[in-house]
Structure 1
Amino acid sequence: MRAADLRADVASAATSAPGLSARGITVAIAGRAIVDAVDADIRSGMVTAIVGPNGAGKSTLIRVLAGVDRPTAGTVVWQDRDWFGLSRRARARIAALVEQDSVAELPLTVRMAVALGRTPHADFLSGVSRRDEEITDDAMRRAGVAGFARRQISTLSGGERQRVNLARALAQDPRLLLLDEPTNHLDVRAQLTTLALARSLARDEGLAVVAALHDLNHAITFADDIVVLDGGRLAAAGAPRDILTPELIARVWGVHATVLTHPRTGMPVIAFDLPPDNTSDPLENS
């Protein structure tokens, strides 16, 4: 059975399944809470954006949700199962995390790097299967890296490496896809293409997709749900159009915001500017 057929078979069931539920997540380092008592619900078939200023705890929370790092306190449940009660390999069969430059220094070709995504599913006695090969090829095509499959990772640009990272995650065939600043190093078209693919994976194939984003316009355009962090705490959560108000943006990011309407798509577009003296309350005189 081809990879596309396998995806289609599970899509409808996955979209109706519960996703990941996190409660009271706290991560403390040297006595300081980087993430402090955060709740988050990640729904299958939806894109959840995690946003916040630099240092808000986005990457730390992503790594907990991915099952890479255990929280200091709190619980994470995947479809009624204790997330950290599963083995590391079992979690890796469910969740794929795309971090920045995670394969950049490895002495591998692009195809070899992408094929690493099959490791959690590998049968080390029988070796690489035809299905593994098909899924790897399909992942490279979907991420737009098939054209340079034979190139060494070290020869790629930052944007190309980021697409290889995404292809490796797709080869993992996850049900939960976590993206930490997936548009970093990408040009405008590649940013939009990557986020459109993430949305397609959620809506068409039933994946639970989480993306840590800096661009609030990307969040309001591509996400179904949004989690706003500020200083490690949960500032707001819900539908992006309801949550990303000028008042909240002023409070969390310290800038003026005006919500406009895109003349072609009808989607909200947020325009930003600094307060007049760059120090005053951005809500004053708004």
Structure 2
Amino acid sequence: MSTTGFALEQLTAGYPSRPVLQGVTLPGVPAGTLVAVVGPNAVGKSTLLKAVAGLRPAQGRVWLEGTDLATLAPRERLYRVGYLPQALPQSTSLMAYETWQSALRASRNEWSTAQREAAIESVVATLGLQALALRRLDELSGGQRQMVGLAQVIVRAPRLLLLDEPTSALDLRWQLQVLQAVRALVRQQGAIGLVAVHDLNLALRFCQHVLVLGGGNVLAAGDPAEVLTPALLQRAYGVRARVERCSEGYLLVLADAALPQ
């Protein structure tokens, strides 16, 4: 098993009486890679991320830099893995800055005060959150709270980022800014990022690897430009679609029609 990347080996997860995922295997993904986890509704994207994060019972192995995550103590797993759920951060009277400090106290208590301050300053600058830092969460919009939650995860500098629909509450500008920033951070830190997304065009533009789920398992995995073909889109989503290049050279998925079931 590679000591520098991420892999799944026969992962099964779901509910006690109904597995959602059965025997999911993903060969080694190298460090510095952003992986899009895609597929139609209810195929297990969120279940996969929760299982990898250790928040849902699972069988099989999740390898990160040569270590089976199931063998780690909860605190060590928290140190290495950062998870952003679909649910927005709770609307509270805390300022955004206080939530970032709390995240670091919980997972990076070995850092000095200066190190924590520097980490927060860096993430705030990277995500463009200067205007939100001293505002209370109950004064923020849903999209702004989603950005605060993302910063809570990133500021800890985990080796594995698990982001469940991190752009769902964001407008177009912030969608681009967030995924561009996440991709850059993953590359710079030599980390791994798994991002569950519905927008296939965001996956094509920002992710170096794609994992397509369907029927409780992996339909396809690899380079998005090679995996997201018209045939795969028909099989996974039940649509007739084309994959074309725009004037800027980016690949785009154009869905023409929903096919009869």
2:32 to 45, 51, 75: 45
Matching residue's letter, 2:122:
D
Partner of 2:133: 149
Indicate the SS of the match to 2:210.
Answer: strand
In the superposition, relative to structure 1, how do residues 97 and 105 fare at CA in structure 2: closer, same or farther (>3 Å)? same
Partner of 1:176: 160
Cα shift readout 1:11-51 (whole Å, capped 9, x = no counterpart): xxxxx952222111111313211111111244311111100
- Would the aligned equivalents of 2:96 and 2:136 in 1 still touch at CA under 8 Å? yes
2:100 to 110, 114, 119: 114
Is it true that 1:59 corresponds to 2:46 in the alignment? yes
- Would the aligned equivalents of 1:17 and 1:44 in 2 still touch at CA under 8 Å? no
- Would the aligned equivalents of 1:258 and 1:270 in 2 still touch at CA under 8 Å? yes
Partner of 1:6: none
Partner of 1:279: 260
**Residue 152 (structure 1) shift:** 1.0
**Residue 203 (structure 1) shift:** 2.2
> Normalized against structure 1, the TM-score is what?
0.85
Is it true that 1:212 corresponds to 2:196 in the alignment? yes
**Residue 259 (structure 1) shift:** 1.1
> Normalized against structure 2, the TM-score is what?
0.92
Indicate the SS of the match to 2:20.
Answer: strand
The 5-angstrom pairing of residues 194-209 of structure 1 reads: 194-209=178-193
CA distance, structure 1, for counterparts of residue 117 and residue 213 of structure 2: 40
Cα shift readout 1:180-235 (whole Å, capped 9, x = no counterpart): 11111100010011111111112233121110010111111111111100132111
Q: CA RMSD in A?
A: 1.8
Partner of 1:26: 12
Matching residue's letter, 1:76:
V
CA distance, structure 2, for counterparts of residue 194 and residue 17 of structure 1: 28
Indicate the SS of the match to 1:21.
Answer: strand
Cα shift readout 1:124-166 (whole Å, capped 9, x = no counterpart): xxx9621112212222222222212121111111110111011
Is it true that 1:88 corresponds to 2:83 in the alignment? no
Q: Name the structure where strand makes up a greater proportion of residues.
A: 2
Larger Rg: 1
Matching residue's letter, 1:236:
A
Indicate the SS of the match to 2:57.
Answer: coil
- Would the aligned equivalents of 2:14 and 2:56 in 1 still touch at CA under 8 Å? no
The 5-angstrom pairing of residues 187-198 of structure 1 reads: 187-198=171-182
CA distance, structure 2, for counterparts of residue 63 and residue 44 of structure 1: 21
CA distance, structure 1, for counterparts of residue 57 and residue 69 of structure 2: 10
Unpaired stretches in structure 1, ≥5 consecutive residues: 1-15, 281-286
- Would the aligned equivalents of 1:55 and 1:231 in 2 still touch at CA under 8 Å? no
- Would the aligned equivalents of 1:44 and 1:209 in 2 still touch at CA under 8 Å? no
Matching residue's letter, 1:121:
R
Partner of 1:267: 250
- Would the aligned equivalents of 2:13 and 2:56 in 1 still touch at CA under 8 Å? no
CA distance, structure 1, for counterparts of residue 25 and residue 189 of structure 2: 25
Partner of 1:97: 83
CA distance, structure 2, for counterparts of residue 116 and residue 33 of structure 1: 35
CA distance, structure 2, for counterparts of residue 105 and residue 35 of structure 1: 32
- Would the aligned equivalents of 1:92 and 1:120 in 2 still touch at CA under 8 Å? yes
**Residue 69 (structure 1) shift:** 2.8
Unpaired stretches in structure 2, ≥5 consecutive residues: none
- How many residue pairs get aligned? The number is 258
Matching residue's letter, 1:107:
S
Matching residue's letter, 2:224:
P
Identity percentage of aligned residues: 33
In the superposition, relative to structure 1, how do residues 42 and 153 fare at CA in structure 2: closer, same or farther (>3 Å)? farther
